[in-house]
Amino acid sequence: MNYQTIASRILDAVGGQDNIRNYEHCATRLRIIVKDDQVIDSTKIDELKEDIGGYFYQSGQHQFIIGTGKVNQVYAAFQTLMGETPCETNFKEDAYANMKPMQKLMRIFADVLIPLIPALVTTGLLMGIRGMITNMGVEMSPEMDTLFGMLTDIAFAFLPVLITYSATKRFGGNPILGIVVGLMMVAPQLPNAWAVATGDAQPMVVSMFGLSINIVGYQGSVLPGIFAGWLVSWVERNVRKFVPDVMDLIVTPFVSILVSITVVLFIVGPILHGVEQYATQGVLLLTQIPFGIGQIFYAATQQLIVITGMHHALSVIEIQLINETGVNILQPLGTASMAGQFGAAIAVATLMKNKKQKSNAISASASTLFGITEPLLFGVTLPNPKAFVMGMLGGAVGGFVTYVLRVAPAGMGITFIPGLLLYTQSVSAMIGYLLVIASSFAAAFILTRMFVKVNQ
């Protein structure tokens, strides 16, 4: 691939330097926001598809699938063509401006939760190590068991602290104020949410304005923390408009923290916590439909959620599932869905006669092994609708295997091959996870080879 030539052709297809509002790249794609979509030359983009992994338009962004590693080189060449003139605005700001309200909400979830994933993944891995040690028959002293419990439980116990910090930072507030509000949400003076849920403790009943309000801690909650971060930022920003500079250091933090924790504890927090519980129970009911029908359905359709960009919201439910059930059933089902599309895409590649197209299809599919499916979806299976359906059927097979083998880890944040790290508690758990992947891939591959025709 001649990176300079590809970059030049992309720039020409989107209307030249004068039509570029902003651009950036992710792990596999060059993403461009233009000033006038009418200038886009679809014919040139179609010609480009023969030399890159694919193209799609989503959320106001023209996304060119280049491939892992290669995209960095194309981006560098694109920067050279654009010259030294910096973009007038931030890419995220331009991207948000082009999104619909629901897309903006999903993006907010992603911006807040994605920075926390390394901590949550680490916690899941530690849970796996603890399970592996236990299954090996190693007996830990009470002190070591307590220390191990600290390692595996602390991130979820203090999750609102992490979330309010990340949310406050995302919304432009003082992250330290977010930390303080988050700590208040899980303060030891409040009844522990998990103890209340198991009946080991009772909610704190507070009477205000003739109403009795049940107050509990927010251990493991997500939505109240995101709201708290937004509220801290909003109050801080607006209070600062009226407070003299000489009093800002004292008054602004005081009002921001007091207003935020009051609203969260007594008004909005209980409502959002209820929403979380209903969403989690809904997912649990789906996965508990007899004969694995719910798991089969989810594994078949999960990649449809990815296409809409709403999959970021699933992290909220995954966190709640781990908190309430101890395991994350969505992880293997999501992986099954990915493996199904991967099998269909590889089958499509083997059916292609054009060597360049075959190479691009394989390149676009490779990132799926590490949990990134957008290049595969938009570059390979979606342009071949029958192949996409075969991928869904493959995912359904993996969903059934998940149901039969009861595959579910105690962590989140990583899928497909990296997801193996979440199953280190036992050999049988790891084998079960591999069987989910293998069955999804094989079913989709065979079905695609049998029923899909590729004219390339």
Q: Point out the residues that are catalytic.
A: 26
Residues 6+ apart with CB under 8 A from 443: 340, 343, 393, 394, 397, 398
> Would you state the torsion angle of the CA atoms of residues 418, 421, 423, 425, taken in this order, to the nearest 10 degrees?
170
Angle at 295 between CA 294 and CA 299, to 5 degrees: 120
Q: Estimate the crossing angle of helix 314-325 against helix 330-351, to 10 degrees.
A: 140
Q: What is the CA radius of gyration of the chain?
A: 25
- Torsion angle of the four alpha carbons 272, 110, 402, 411, in this order, in degrees rounded to the nearest 10: -80
Structure tokens at 180: 């303080």
